Structure 1
Amino acid sequence: MSRSLFSIASLLLGSAFLFFAGGLTGMLLPVRGGIEGFSSFNLGLLGTGWAVGYVSGCLLVPQLVTRVGHIRAFSVMAAMACISVLMSSLLVLPYAWIILRALAGFAFAGAAMIVEGWLVERSEPESRGMIFGTYTMVNLFASTAGQMVIAIGSPETFQLFTVACIFYVIALLPTALTKSQAPVPLARAKLNVPRLWKNSPVAVIAVLLTGISNGSFGTLVAVYGHNIGLSVSGVALFVSASILAGAAAQIPIGFLSDMIDRRLVVIVIALVAIASDSMFVTHAPTTTTIAVIYSAIFGAAVYSFYPVLVAHANDHADPSEGLQTSGGLLLLMGCGTMIGPLLGGVLMSVQGPNGLFVSTTMAHIGILLFTIWRMTQRVAVDDEDKGQFVPISPMRTRTPQTILLADGEIAEEELSDDYEGESLASDPLESTPDRADEETEAEKR
């Protein structure tokens, strides 16, 4: 297994730099926007722009990779991310930032998919779980570190923008110079709502509402922290606490959901989430310590919804439809994250900082009531028919390719389909030219 990790070390390193830069910019823009006096509505639109770009990247980047190859496509994604960051430092205007944030979301989704494609290709079935766990922990640590960097810099100046841009460029180097085998075509997911609804209505409604809640919180939590008077370092701790708690909570919650009806687990999570919402609304935190405790409780609940719901949907799905089920829910989650920041921004503009948690309360009450009703309409899955719970990173960076990396059975099915009739060379830089190279050679002849 150590050899497996060593063989993809450069890819993990590149991914770490990518997520470091993403964590930094995700924290920097809302804080700087608040300092510049941007309205909560406009800051919410930053999250909507990111979600639109990210979902678009998940849908369109596989086609780009097919045309120009993985290394060139990754270079394009890194360049687009750099452009978005540098332009954001030059054009400190709300609507310019919204467009640039969409560009960054597209680039980040594409870059993550390409790295994950290599990881799927390079990992053996028996080591894929370890590699996925390592990949998740590396990215979680890197993203959290990027968020914390804002505490030692000055959001009012351009330096932090420059640091983020540098790390996007550094992320390009390990991948561009890798000797890893060029991966098979990237996974493509489709959003088929009628099929998802027939499979699991609870998953459809709850995932959409989870996207609204998590999208609103993920985009505007830094704005909330700034508005209640936390220092820059306090805001960084406030945001990071929710992500780390959300990652840690999935271990016991996943174990519990494998033992009992997953819908009961969803109900318990919803009750905890609503209680956490109420704490923020009725007893707003007045110190950094209280804010961090509130955030950890909130994150432990809300970031556990999605993996439980995905597992529930897969319990009812045919094993051959694993990618389309998980991928469809991923895109549905993306649709929710487009709505959530917009709703949260409007409510914060009208009701002040507490409006953020009014929006999340509405979503969590919806999840609770619909799940309770569905339990009266459908019996639980037998224990022998349940799949295994798979933890999912609380960061908003999951792509269809992540599904293959996380689920060995789905990955083997997809790889066997892609390999059929194909012969891959060992070095993409030497033995397997991209399509553009082939066209150039044809022109010379």
Structure 2
Amino acid sequence: MHRHFGTIGALLMGSAALMFAGGINGLILPLRGAEEGFSSLSLGLLGTGWALGYVSGCLSVPRLVGRVGHIRAFSVMAGLAAVSILLSLLFIHAWAWIVLRALAGYCFAGAAMIVESWINERTPGEARGGVFGVYTMVNLAATTAGQMLLMTGDTGGYAFFVLAAIFYALALLPTAVTQQIAPQPMVAASLDLPALWRNSPLAVVAVVLVGVSNGAFGTLGAVYGARIGLDVSTIAIFMSIAVVAGAALQVPVGFLSDRMDRRFVLLGLGAVAAAVDVTFVFIAPTAPMLVLALASVFGAAVYAMYPVIVAHANDHAPENYFLRTSGGLLLLFGIGSIAGPLMGGLLMNLTGPAGLFMNSLAAHALLIVYGAWRIRRRDAPGPRDKAAFHTAPVGTQTTPQTNLLNPAIEEAPETAARAGSDAGAGPENRPDPQPGDG
């Protein structure tokens, strides 16, 4: 595997710079906005704007790359992201920040897709699993480092805005000077949300609800910390520890879900998250160590749900539907991430800081109730029918192109369909997913 890093090392460096800047950008805005007196609702709309931009980028950037190529498109994305954070410093107003955050989300999704598709083409199938793991860990470490950087200075100044812009600009250098041949245009899988619903109603409902919860926490967690009196250093740890715990729990959760009904695993994670929600809502702890401990449990539960949902949906997906399934779930997760910060911000406006976890509690309670009903409606697949479990990047560190790095998916549906048709076993000769499979 190590020999492949010679061809993608520059891309990993660019991705690390992008994620580092994103870590700063995602935390400085809610913290500075809270200091400026922005309402919780307007701060929640920052997350809604980001998710709208992110989903739009995932859907439209492949066409841009097809017109101008990977290198030019990536330069545009990184440059506009740098402009967005600098304009946020010049125009300190809630509505301006919402628009600029949407622009940043669009650029971030586009830049990540370009890097991921490039890595995918430069890495053979047998090495993609290892390369994907390194790529994920690089992104996680860079994002965490960017968040933790805020512990070193004053969020009321301009330094962190400028640093984020600098690293966005640095992100484009590795691809701009690389001597590697640019990859082929991106593969865009056609999404079929009705078929996804017929395949697994639970996966559809659960991924939207998880998007609601995770999107709200990712945007407003820092605001919650500020509202209950945590200092900036503790807030940075509060946000980072949740993501790190979620990444760490994915392996044991995957091991467990491969050996029992994944729906029980998902409901168990939902129950743990709901218990933490109840604690934050009704006990309202303010002691920093207790808050951090609860955040780690919360993050471990909520950020481990997404890969369980994807694996459950793939358990029932017909052959060659894996990429469509993952892409459809990601789009639905984005829709939940659009609604979550808006609802969380509104509840925080009405009820105070605890409103953030009231929003999460409602989402997790609905997930548990609906999941329990679905378990009564359908038996679990047998061990031999289960798809392979794969960890997934946490937070907003994944795009449809990330799925192409998954070693279980060697071909896009269009390519696989052609190959299957030649053998008389293409998707047109297979039944569509049947209703009620999960």
User: TM-score range with shorter-chain normalisation?
Assistant: over 0.9
* Cα displacement string for residues 408-444 of structure 1 (whole angstroms, at most 9, x for unaligned residues): 2323346957999xxxxxxxxxxxxxxxxxxxxxxxx
CA contact (8 A) 1:281 1:354 kept: yes
Shift of residue 187 of structure 1? 3.1
Instruction: Give 2:102's aligned residue.
Output: 102
Shift of residue 79 of structure 1? 1.1
Structure 1's unaligned 5+ residue stretches are: 421-445
CA contact (8 A) 2:189 2:324 kept: yes
Shift of residue 266 of structure 1? 0.8
Instruction: Give 2:278's aligned residue.
Output: 278
State the distance in 2 between where 1:332 and 1:185 align. Answer: 25
Instruction: Give 1:214's aligned residue.
Output: 214
Instruction: Give 2:70's aligned residue.
Output: 70
Shift of residue 193 of structure 1? 2.5
State the distance in 2 between where 1:13 and 1:185 align. Answer: 22
State the distance in 2 between where 1:293 and 1:66 align. Answer: 46
State the distance in 2 between where 1:64 and 1:347 align. Answer: 38
State the distance in 1 between where 2:413 and 2:77 align. Answer: 25
Instruction: Give 1:409's aligned residue.
Output: 408
State the distance in 2 between where 1:281 and 1:386 align. Answer: 37
Instruction: Give 1:397's aligned residue.
Output: 397
CA contact (8 A) 2:321 2:413 kept: no
TM-score scaled by length of structure 1 = 0.92
Matched to 2:410, the amino acid is A
CA contact (8 A) 1:16 1:142 kept: yes
Shift of residue 395 of structure 1? 2.1
State the distance in 2 between where 1:260 and 1:270 align. Answer: 16
* Cα displacement string for residues 228-267 of structure 1 (whole angstroms, at most 9, x for unaligned residues): 0000001000000100000001111000000011001011
Aligned to 1:396, the other structure's residue is in SS state coil
* Cα displacement string for residues 348-372 of structure 1 (whole angstroms, at most 9, x for unaligned residues): 0000000000000000000000000
Aligned to 1:388, the other structure's residue is in SS state coil
Is 1:377 the equivalent of 2:386?
A: no
Identity %: 54
Matches within 5 A, 1:120-269: 120-269=120-269
Distance 1:262 1:419, change over 3 A: closer
Aligned to 1:253, the other structure's residue is in SS state helix
Matches within 5 A, 1:315-354: 315-354=315-354
Matched to 2:400, the amino acid is P
Distance 1:95 1:57, change over 3 A: same
State the distance in 2 between where 1:238 and 1:40 align. Answer: 18
Matched to 2:85, the amino acid is V
State the distance in 2 between where 1:418 and 1:388 align. Answer: 21
CA contact (8 A) 1:120 1:411 kept: no
Matched to 1:19, the amino acid is M
Instruction: Give 1:52's aligned residue.
Output: 52
Instruction: Give 2:87's aligned residue.
Output: 87
State the distance in 1 between where 2:322 and 2:298 align. Answer: 30
State the distance in 2 between where 1:194 and 1:73 align. Answer: 32
Shift of residue 48 of structure 1? 0.2
Aligned to 2:185, the other structure's residue is in SS state coil
* Cα displacement string for residues 74-114 of structure 1 (whole angstroms, at most 9, x for unaligned residues): 01001110110010000000000000000000000000000
Aligned to 1:51, the other structure's residue is in SS state helix
Instruction: Give 1:5's aligned residue.
Output: 5
Q: After the TM superposition, which parts of structure 1 deviate over 4 Å for at least 4 consecutive aligned residues?
A: 413-420
Instruction: Give 2:433's aligned residue.
Output: none
Structure 2's unaligned 5+ residue stretches are: 420-438
Aligned to 2:411, the other structure's residue is in SS state helix
Distance 1:20 1:388, change over 3 A: same
CA contact (8 A) 1:215 1:341 kept: yes
CA contact (8 A) 1:41 1:342 kept: yes
Question: What value does the CA root-mean-square deviation take over the aligned residues?
Answer: 1.5
CA contact (8 A) 2:320 2:417 kept: no
Aligned to 2:304, the other structure's residue is in SS state helix
Shift of residue 142 of structure 1? 0.2
Instruction: Give 1:432's aligned residue.
Output: none
Instruction: Give 1:441's aligned residue.
Output: none
* Cα displacement string for residues 148-176 of structure 1 (whole angstroms, at most 9, x for unaligned residues): 11111211111110000000000000111
Aligned to 1:403, the other structure's residue is in SS state helix
Is 1:38 the equivalent of 2:43?
A: no
State the distance in 2 between where 1:187 and 1:94 align. Answer: 37
Matched to 1:271, the amino acid is A
Shift of residue 331 of structure 1? 0.2
State the distance in 2 between where 1:184 and 1:408 align. Answer: 19
Moved more, 173-182 or 79-88: 173-182
Instruction: Give 1:292's aligned residue.
Output: 292
CA contact (8 A) 1:191 1:332 kept: no
* Cα displacement string for residues 205-249 of structure 1 (whole angstroms, at most 9, x for unaligned residues): 000111001111111000000000000001000000100000001
TM-score scaled by length of structure 2 = 0.93
Paired residue total: 419
